[in-house]
Amino acid sequence: MFTYDIALLPGDGIGPEIMDATLLVLDGLAAGIPELSFNYETYLIGADHYLKTKELLPEYAVAGCKAAHAILLSAVGIPEVRFEDGTEIQPQIMIGLRKELDLYAAVRPVKLYPGVKSPLGNTGPGIDMVVVRENTEGLFASFNGGAVVNNQAIADTMIITRRGSERVIDFAFRLARRRSGRPSDGKRRVTCVDKANIFRSLAFFRKIFDEVAVKYPEIGTERGYVDAMTVHMLQRPWDYDVMVMENMFGDILSDLGAGLVGGLGLGPSAEIGDDYMLFQPSHGSAPDIAGQGIANPMALILSAAMMLDSLGDKYDDALAARSGKLLDDSVAEVLAKGEGLTPDLGGAASTDELANTVLAAVRQRINQGV
């Protein structure tokens, strides 16, 4: 039996509630699979912690994250908690973590589960793609920087480096190698999304994409301009498998993708580097419904499924990978049945009731040997 050390960051708002719900499911999964075990350590970061301590990223929390096999984060930030200049603390915390842990690949699955309604009239053979965005440079490299000229002009600079581009593009190809291909025909394909016809920086990104692609002859390739992609994702989302792009473009297209498959409440995500991995829901901390027991934990539960899959890949642990699929399939089953869901998903269940519904599906699959 191998025990995975998981750093827990419950965060703010609904964060602690959905964390408890997710741990209920994870612990139930581990109880049914004796060879799988978790050891949790909780670290406090976020807006509430900042109000009490004025610490953004406590050293003990960063050290604990570095010592863990993976990090599970609920959500941080409360809009009303800001610095003296009026800016929110949430970006400082998240970008600080990315830099401390060098989490260069942001991974956002866009998957339409059975029973979930899409705003598209036609979803063809289905939607199952992944948006991979470079997570440490691009336009976000100017965060807390940029140039200000006499309060009359401000310039932010987009930074594209060879190293940053090579490693995230390589990650995208390795991810495509592990997937089942695009829904339209099952072909594995990586799409480079850029604006290479206008910006030299993004032409450079595309050039590096072409160089890395040579190492993966079994994976198909495609190139598209970001403005055109906003249309193609609506017209034929089933034609995409893995898409890789600069930070800001990925920030926008991943949210567009979430809108196609049920919203951010069903949107898991990961931020992955060579040494560390962090998993979190795509949504925010929703302080307006905190404490009411109606928060939807599905995005964090699905993020935990991604965590298990990634642990399986990193540590060559087939059991962890299978457990991740079992958890993902259990969520799919609950969504398809449409029972025991929280209000935002069209039901009337509480956070804990939905977690227990997912847990029941997990236990049934384990008992059936699925």
The candidate with the shortest Cα–Cα distance to 300, out of 97, 48, 24, 57, is 24
CA distance 161 to 138: 9
**Taking CA 69 as the corner, what is the angle to CA 63 and CA 71, rounded to the nearest 5 degrees?**
70
CA distance 134 to 287: 29
| pLDDT at res. 151 | 77
The candidate with the shortest Cα–Cα distance to 295, out of 251, 265, 250, 259, is 265
| pLDDT at res. 152 | 81
Scored b (16 or more CB within 10 A) or e, 70-102 reads bbbbbbbbbeebeeeeeeebbebbbebbbeebe
User: 225 vs 90, 166, 192, 198, 232, CA distance in Å?
Assistant: 30, 19, 8, 10, 10
| pLDDT at res. 204 | 98
Tokens at residue 248, please? 């800001």
pLDDT averaged over consecutive 10-residue blocks of the chain (370 residues)?
93 97 98 95 93 90 97 92 80 89 97 96 96 92 71 85 98 97 98 97 98 98 97 97 97 96 96 98 94 97 98 96 97 96 96 98 92
Report the predicted TM-score, pTM, of the whole model to 2 decimal places.
0.95
Say if CB 104 and CB 273 are below 8 A apart: yes
Say if CB 301 and CB 22 are below 8 A apart: yes
Scored b (16 or more CB within 10 A) or e, 40-58 reads eeebbbbbbbbeeeeebbe
Q: What is the CATH number of domain 1-117+264-370?
A: 3.40.718.10
The candidate with the shortest Cα–Cα distance to 342, out of 324, 357, 327, is 357
Superfamily of domain 121-261: Isopropylmalate Dehydrogenase (3.40.718.10)
Domains 1-117+264-370 and 121-261 share a fold: yes
Say if CB 244 and CB 254 are below 8 A apart: no
Please state the domain extents for the chain.
1-117+264-370, 121-261
Longest distance between any two alpha carbons in the chain, whole Å = 69
Contacts of residue 319, defined as CB under 8 A and 6 or more positions apart, other chains included, come to: 33, 35, 36, 312
